[in-house]
Structure 1
């Protein structure tokens, strides 16, 4: 069972999506850059990365720039929270650049909530686990002050995200009325990457959305996603996805957006698409 869940309205300023995957067999998954940090919780066992290292059972991760591969075992349930850019600092008071292409054990970050996973493991129904996860996030938000910088930052990344066409730094800082140095500093603290790199990830995700919709003409796709030409699109796609668009389409299937599994599942099995609730 794969679920993609819209967050409750009171959390939507900080949370983009929640998701849940029940792994039916041992699998390898890869993550794609999406411009967002997040939280991952695995029940009952932890993920293992491509180097063989065990990942914490529950962790907070930052911006993903390099594709990363994980291995799961049959019977594992993975829950995820896709946070809005900037939410790491709003929720955890962390400078986002610290976790770019990295993760942090949730129990180390929030030792007072160390029993949270034990309590979640006693809930077997997905709806109950998601509700518990949302309540946990609400408690975090009540403990934090939402800085004025957060509002400015949200305006900045929304300007970049309005379309895939990369705005110049000068355009963005002019609309916000701040200096280029201040804009770069705020993006580093709140988002974890530069405005320029964030814009490139937004453009990559625009291309991914066209591919999800079934676009087959890569020349038209490159134009619609504001790449200079098809070769530019393929080069940047390979940088972020680790393979070419054509090979990606043949080889991978998304369980939930930006969490992809090889199509080489067990004989006779097909990977289910995610359901939205």
Structure 2
């Protein structure tokens, strides 16, 4: 049992409970994010490429998820692998569960499968982790407090950490270089840094991290651009230059390809969500 703070926030129509995982798990995931929607309000949301895999431990009704490679499918608890495109999920409302945002190589270890298997796709959690995942969901549903639920998550994931595959040191180094520079390192330099050929690095990195290093860099640049535009106070031209795009037109094309909309459309939707949340939070 971990003596951890659990912070509960009102997010405007739903409650968020967050707490840190066990210390040994923190390099793989930053937090447990519990959520509970007391009133059932149907919702639809765009999904974007991220820097990691998403695990949903669902304690409420199923949701429908469309990925870049699959049509909308109904899922209970599931894992969504790395994506290089946009998708969508819809819910009937009344959602309840725990979300884990896991690094690519953390997911490789904890899930115990090649990440390329679920690239641009999703899979039911028991199909990846076996019957133990279904038992975990049942125990979490019977546990009343978030702190106790996070203890159960710790115990389950620490067992997975002990038995899961270890990423190749060369792949781990390539990931750190890519992530640390916001995707600014090319494949040739990555291969030189880790001492592999470009072909061998691309093959092993794709297997263990889920995306080829060139595509991973593209996603990381995209995520950095979102951060600079939304929180960094930069305009599109400045963000394009900072993230290594040729010009603002190049940035716009990347947003259309990866998000399915323009930067202004994406940021406008994000701003509206923030306004709704802020208005609902208690003083």
- Distance verdict in 2 for CA 1:123–1:274, change over 3 Å: farther
Structure 1 counterpart of 2:208: 190
Structure 2 counterpart of 1:201: 219
Task: After the TM superposition, list the runs of 4 or more consecutive aligned residues in structure 1 that deviate by more than 6 angstroms.
Answer: none
**Aligned residues: CA RMSD:** 2.5
1:271 to 239, 263, 277: 277
Task: Tell me whether 32-41 or 3-12 shows the greater mean CA deviation.
Answer: 3-12
**Greater percentage in helix:** 2
- In the alignment, does 2:125 pair up with 1:119? no
Structure 2 counterpart of 1:37: 53
Aligned residue pairs total: 260
Shift of 1:207: 0.8
> What is the rounded CA distance, in whole Å, between the counterparts of 1:35 and 1:225 in structure 2?
15
Shift of 1:5: 4.2
1:59 to 78, 98, 107: 78
Structure 1 residues 46-195: aligned runs within 5 Å: 46-49=62-65, 53-55=73-75, 57-113=76-132, 114-147=134-167, 149=168, 151-164=169-182, 166-195=184-213
What SS does the aligned partner of 2:73 have? coil
User: Is the 2:184–2:243 contact (alpha carbons within 8 Å) kept by the matching residues of 1?
Assistant: no
> What is the rounded CA distance, in whole Å, between the counterparts of 2:268 and 2:123 in structure 1?
33
What SS does the aligned partner of 1:235 have? helix
> What is the rounded CA distance, in whole Å, between the counterparts of 1:154 and 1:109 in structure 2?
22
User: Is the 1:41–1:78 contact (alpha carbons within 8 Å) kept by the matching residues of 2?
Assistant: yes
> What is the rounded CA distance, in whole Å, between the counterparts of 2:259 and 2:111 in structure 1?
28
Could you report, residue by residue, the CA deviation over 1:56-75 in whole angstroms, capped at 9, with x for unpaired residues?
x1112211222111112332
What SS does the aligned partner of 2:45 have? strand
TM-score in terms of structure 1 length: 0.84
- In the alignment, does 2:51 pair up with 1:26? no
Unaligned runs of 5+ in 1: 254-261
> What is the rounded CA distance, in whole Å, between the counterparts of 1:181 and 1:274 in structure 2?
51
Q: Which has the higher contact order (CA 8 A, sep 6+)?
A: 1
> What is the rounded CA distance, in whole Å, between the counterparts of 2:152 and 2:267 in structure 1?
35
